[in-house]
């Protein structure tokens, strides 16, 4: 029985979850629809896992409500689980079991499962089908956990950090499986603290920080807003910024070695003046960004400032942010 | 509860149990070695009226085998499944808790059947000629399996995986010594003997010894003790068990 197209497959309204005195989730609301990928993006400790585990029925809301396919995850657990795919943040598999064995086991739980051997091939684990779980690499374990989440052809999938610890080749596999799942009509809710994953995979992004939603929307909506009266570019460090400022008639600041911020609207004339100045000085242009925020800008603006643990948050997110920009500025 | 799911889960429980070397050592290796060694090497004291060591040892070692599988092996496996998040993950599948429990029960009974075949064969080679009632013996084993599994799951569901491992092995040693399995109960100091007779291990040895003697005997004491443990331990486990 497919969910009605008008109704969201997953609905979270004013969700509050507490552990003793600590409020892990503090008024989170969002909807996820069939055929779409929704990413819960936020730093570690933002409440992503708690939110997802409430949707999976592992805990009850302290306030607010959640519904999955119109059902209550705790009260209607037995009716819901055959239609659900779940990937926990870690573990969840017998250490001594082999990939083919555990996939066949899980396939036996569902009425219309995927073929375990085909699925093993799709997630690239055929060559290690006879190793035990404890002998698999972290990335292989993640891909097997993902396969276990999709083997029952779920209508809703909750994937907690599906690409954490996965190497670049493995990430391609994970992304393809997630896209296929959405293409088959499932609502996919995944969590990540990596911008690149949210940018690549998600139709909608919900940014959470310290238990609350700080922004939500499609990538276009999230990155279009705000006063983008600036041009950012990359060039060799130590440019003659004052001279450039005179040439452009606007403030120029080297915000990081080799990264510059020009304080004027990104009109074609301003960009032309900038590139002409660089051409005259025979300087290479590494990167040019105008008119749009990246998700990184939005994310850091919303979650980076006055954070309780700014060092940890920035260090962790900075790495992801850099790779996100590399992905974006490619040819 | 889907029969196909229970069958698949049972197969995996059995496969993983037999794949763990330490579990095979515990459930088959140690009982066989104890039975053979102490039957051949005449060092153990025997209860009054028993002439051949194997006649005393065989029922006791069968009881030890049941305890190894239903309590120790089950506790250790389930404890680690809990700490590795396996139980949590299975909770998000359509398998369901009754089906998981059914599969674990079936796997325990299958291993016990294997143990009985092997141990009875070895004991027969050593000259044991069981008499009495096999049906009565099977009843005692079933009752004890429920009691031991309750104790094992109570540990697995409340302690950390490593603590369960240590506690289950410690309890195994204590119950081995106080269980009338290799060491006759009537040779223990009176106070210790009184305590030992209230524990499920000694109760099972006594019940098996009675059931496999001619004529088969049902002493009230051991059966009442077994039944009490078979009710209390699983009830306590069901009440205290934490899945995460």
By mean pLDDT, which of A19-33, A67-81, A281-295, B167-181 is the weakest?
Answer: A281-295
pLDDT digits (tens, 9 = 90+) for B56-106: 999 999 999 999 999 999 999 999 999 999 999 999 999 988 899 999 999
Residues 6+ apart with CB under 8 A from A183: A35
Residue A147: other Cβ atoms inside 10 A: 24
Give CA–CA dist B26/B130, Å, rounded. Answer: 24
- CA–CA gap between residue A265 and residue A269 (Å, rounded): 10
State phi, psi for A212 to the nearest 5 degrees: -130, 155
Chain A residue with Cα closest to B1: A109
Supply the pLDDT for residue A314. 36
pLDDT of residue B76: 95
CA distances (Å), origin B64, targets B21, B32, B132, B198, B237: 18, 10, 20, 16, 22
Contact across the interface for A108 and B7, Cβ inside 8 Å: yes
A119 lies in the same domain as A180: yes
Tokens of A273: 């003046």
Q: Which of B93, B96, B100 to mutate to test binding with chain A, by most A CBs within 10 Å of its CB?
A: B93
H/E stretch holding A254 reads strand A252-256
Shared domain for A281 and A171, answered yes or no, is: no
A90 and A112 in a single domain? The answer is yes
Residue of A nearest to B92 (CA): A81
A282 and A290 Cβ atoms separated by less than 8 Å: no
Q: What distances in angstroms separate CA A311 from CA A94, A247, B31, B123, B168, one per listed residue?
A: 36, 37, 58, 68, 44
pLDDT digits (tens, 9 = 90+) for A144-155: 999 999 999 999
Is B124 an 8 Å CB contact of chain A? no
Q: Which of B15, B86, B94 lies at the smallest CB-CB distance from A92?
A: B86
Q: Which residues of B touch A78 (CB under 8 A)?
A: 94, 96
Are A101 and A40 in the same domain?
yes
| For residue B11, pLDDT beyond 90 | yes
Q: Which residue of B has its CA nearest to A59?
A: B244
Pairwise CA distance, residues A272 & A261, whole Å: 16
A192 and A249 both lie in a single domain:
no
Nearest CB neighbour to B85, from listed A78, A88, A101: A88
* B84 with A91: Cβ contact below 8 A: yes
Q: In chain A, pLDDT over 90 holds for what percent of residues?
A: 61
Q: Which of A64, A59, A62 is nearest to A14 (CA)?
A: A64
pLDDT for A91 equals 85
Structural tokens at position B13:
């429980």
DSSP annotation of A111 reads S
A57 touches chain B (CB under 8 A): yes
Q: Which residue has the higher pLDDT, B219 or A70?
A: A70
Chain B residues close to A93, C-beta within 8 Å: 84, 86, 89
- Put simply, the answer to whether B84 touches A95 (Cβ < 8 Å) is yes
Phi (first) and psi of residue A5, to 5 degrees: -60, -25
Taking the C-alpha atoms of residue B62 and residue A156, their distance in angstroms, rounded to an integer, is: 49
Please report which confidence band the pLDDT of residue A325 belongs to, taking 50, 70 and 90 as the band edges: very low
Token pair 């013996």 in the structure block, residue: B137
Domain-located, residue A161? yes
Residue pair A25/A45 in contact by the 8 Å Cβ criterion? no
d(CA A68, CA A76): 10
CB-count exposure of residue B80 (10 Å: 0-12, 13-18, 19+)? buried
Instruction: Cite the DSSP H helix spans in A81-229.
Output: 99-107, 116-122, 138-150, 168-183, 195-201, 219-224
Are A200 and A241 found together in one domain? no
Contacts of A194 (CB under 8 A, 6+ apart): A163, A164, A320, A324
Q: A93–B244: do the CB atoms touch at under 8 Å?
A: no
Rg (chain B; Cα; Å): 18
> Domain of A145: which CATH number?
3.40.50.300
Q: For residue A2, is it within any domain?
A: no
Q: In the structure, what pLDDT confidence band is assigned to residue A320 with cuts at 50, 70 and 90?
A: very low
What integer pLDDT is reported at residue B150 of this predicted model?
A: 95
- Number of helices (H), then strands (E), in chain A: 12, 13
Number of domains in chain A: 2
Please, which residues 266-325 of chain A have a Cβ atom closer than 8 Å to chain B?
none
Q: State residue A321's pLDDT score.
A: 37
Between CA B108 and CA A324 the distance in angstroms is 52
**Which is nearest to A154 in space by CA: A128, A177, A132?**
A177
More confident residue, A319 or B224: B224
Q: How many angstroms away from the CA of B173 is the closest CA of chain A?
A: 26
- Provide the whole-model pTM: 0.82
3-class state of residue A77 by DSSP: helix
Instruction: State whether residue B22 sits within 8 Å of chain A by CB.
Output: no
Closest of B102, B94, B97, B200 to residue B148, by C-alpha: B200
Boundaries of domain holding A118: 10-223
Stretch among A242-251, B84-93, B228-237 having the lowest mean pLDDT: A242-251
Q: Which residue of A has its CA nearest to B15?
A: A97
Domain membership of residue A281 (yes or no) is: yes
Model ipTM value: 0.90
B94 interfacial to chain A (CB closer than 8 Å): yes
Contacts of B91 in chain A (CB under 8 A): 58
State whether A203 and A98 are in the same domain.
Answer: yes
| A142 and A271, same domain (yes or no) | no
Element (H, E) at A271: helix A268-280
The rounded distance, in Å, linking the Cα atoms of A104 and A267 is 59
Residue where one domain finishes, among candidates A223, A239, A271: A223
- Residue A321 in any domain: the answer is no
Q: Which residue of B has its CA nearest to A110?
A: B94
Distance from CA of A83 to the nearest CA of B (A): 9
Average pLDDT, chain A: 86
Could you identify the residue written with the tokens 């999709």? A150
Same domain (yes/no): A277, A157? no
Encode chain B in three state secondary structure.
Answer: CCHHHHHHHHHHHHHHHHHCHHHHHHHHHHHHHHHHHHHHCCCCCCCCCCCCHHHHHHHHHHHHHHHHHHHHHHHHHHHHHHHCCHHHHHCCCCCCHHHHHHHHHHHHHHHHHHHHHHHHHHHHHCCCCCCCCHHHHHHHHHHHHHHHHHHHHHHHHHCCHHHHHHHHHHHHHHHHHHCCCCCCHHHCCHHHHHHHCCCHHHHHHHHHHHHCCCCCCCCHHHHHHHHHHHHHHHHHHHHHCCCC
User: What are the distances in angstroms from CA B220 to CA A229, A285, B224, B225, B226?
Assistant: 91, 93, 6, 9, 10
Are residue A96 and residue A156 in the same domain, yes or no? Answer: yes
Residue A317 lies in a domain: no
CA distance A306 to A309: 8
For residues A176-193, one letter each, b for 16 or more C-beta atoms within 10 angstroms of the residue's C-beta and e for the rest, the string is ebbeebbeeebbbbbbbb
What CA–CA distance (Å, rounded) separates A99 from A117? 10
Q: Is A303 helix (H, G, I), strand (E, B) or coil?
A: helix
- Judge whether B96 is closer than 8 Å to chain A, CB to CB: yes
Instruction: Tally the residues of chain A.
Output: 331
Residues A16 and A145 in one domain: yes
B74 closest CA partner among B27, B39, B137, B30: B27
The CA distance from A78 to B148, in Å, is: 29
φ and ψ at residue B17, rounded to 5 degrees: -60, -45
CA of A253 vs chain B CAs: smallest distance (Å):
51
Q: What is the pLDDT of residues B104-139, one digit of tens each?
A: 999 999 999 999 999 999 999 999 998 999 999 999
pLDDT (tens digit, 9 = 90+) per residue, B44-58?
888 878 888 999 999
Q: Would residue A272 count as lying in a domain? A: yes
pLDDT per position as a tens digit, B172-209: 999 999 999 998 998 899 999 999 999 999 999 999 99
**Is A212 found in the same domain as A240?**
no
**Residues A236, A240, A243: CA angle, nearest 5 degrees:** 140
Q: How far apart are CA A122 and CA A179, in angstroms?
A: 13
Give the residue from A223, A242, A266 where a domain finishes. Answer: A223
């Amino acid at each position: 029985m497919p969910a009605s197209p008008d109704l969201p497959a997953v609905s979270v309204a004013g969700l509050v979850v507490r552990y003793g005195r600590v409020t892990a989730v503090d008024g989170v609301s969002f909807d996820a629809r069939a055929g779409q990928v929704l990413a819960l993006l936020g730093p570690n400790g933002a409440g992503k896992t708690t939110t997802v585990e409430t949707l999976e029925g592992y805990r009850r809301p302290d306030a607010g409500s959640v519904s999955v396919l119109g059902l209550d995850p705790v009260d209607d657990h037995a009716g819901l689980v055959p239609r659900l795919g779940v990937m926990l943040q870690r573990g969840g598999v017998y250490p001594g079991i082999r990939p083919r064995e555990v996939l066949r086991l899980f396939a036996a739980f569902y009425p219309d499962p995927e073929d375990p051997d085909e699925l093993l091939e799709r997630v690239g684990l055929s060559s290690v089908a006879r190793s035990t779980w404890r002998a698999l690499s972290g990335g292989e374990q993640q891909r097997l956990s993902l396969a276990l989440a999709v083997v029952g052809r779920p209508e809703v999938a909750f994937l907690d950090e599906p690409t954490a610890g996965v190497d670049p080749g493995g990430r391609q596999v994970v992304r393809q499986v997630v896209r296929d799942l959405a293409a088959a009509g499932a609502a996919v809710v995944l969590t990540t603290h990596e911008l690149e994953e949210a940018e690549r995979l998600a139709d909608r992004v919900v940014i959470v920080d310290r238990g609350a939603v700080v922004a939500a929307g499609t990538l276009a909506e999230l990155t279009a807003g705000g006063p983008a009266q600036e041009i950012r570019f990359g060039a060799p460090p130590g440019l003659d910024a004052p001279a450039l400022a005179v040439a452009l008639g606007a403030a120029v600041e080297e915000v990081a070695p080799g990264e510059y911020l020009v304080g004027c609207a990104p009109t074609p004339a301003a960009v032309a003046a900038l590139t002409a100045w660089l051409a005259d000085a025979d300087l290479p242009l590494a990167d040019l960004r105008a008119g749009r925020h990246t998700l990184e800008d939005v994310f850091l603006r919303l979650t980076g400032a006055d954070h309780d643990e700014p060092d940890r948050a920035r260090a962790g997110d900075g790495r992801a942010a850099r790779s996100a920009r590399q992905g974006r500025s490619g040819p | 509860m889907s029969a196909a799911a229970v069958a698949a889960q049972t197969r995996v429980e059995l496969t993983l149990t037999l794949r763990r070397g330490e579990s095979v050592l515990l459930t088959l290796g140690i009982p066989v070695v104890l039975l053979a060694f102490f039957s051949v090497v005449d060092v153990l004291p025997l209860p009054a009226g028993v002439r051949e060591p194997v006649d005393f040892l065989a029922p006791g070692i069968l009881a030890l085998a049941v305890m190894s599988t239903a309590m120790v092996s089950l506790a250790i496996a389930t404890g680690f499944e809990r700490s590795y998040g396996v139980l949590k993950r299975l909770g998000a599948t359509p398998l369901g808790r009754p089906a998981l429990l059914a599969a674990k029960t079936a796997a325990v009974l299958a291993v016990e059947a294997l143990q009985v075949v092997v141990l009875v064969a070895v004991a027969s080679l050593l000259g044991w000629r069981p008499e009495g009632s096999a049906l009565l013996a099977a009843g005692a084993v079933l009752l004890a399996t429920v009691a031991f599994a309750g104790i094992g799951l109570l540990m697995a569901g409340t302690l950390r995986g490593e603590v369960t491992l240590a506690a289950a092995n410690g309890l195994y040693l204590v119950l081995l010594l106080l269980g009338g399995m290799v060491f006759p109960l009537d040779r223990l100091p009176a106070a210790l003997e009184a305590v030992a007779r209230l524990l499920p291990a000694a109760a099972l040895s006594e019940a098996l010894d009675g059931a496999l003697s001619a004529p088969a005997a049902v002493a009230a004491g051991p059966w009442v003790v077994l039944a009490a443990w078979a009710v209390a331990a699983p009830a306590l486990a069901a009440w205290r068990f934490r899945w995460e």
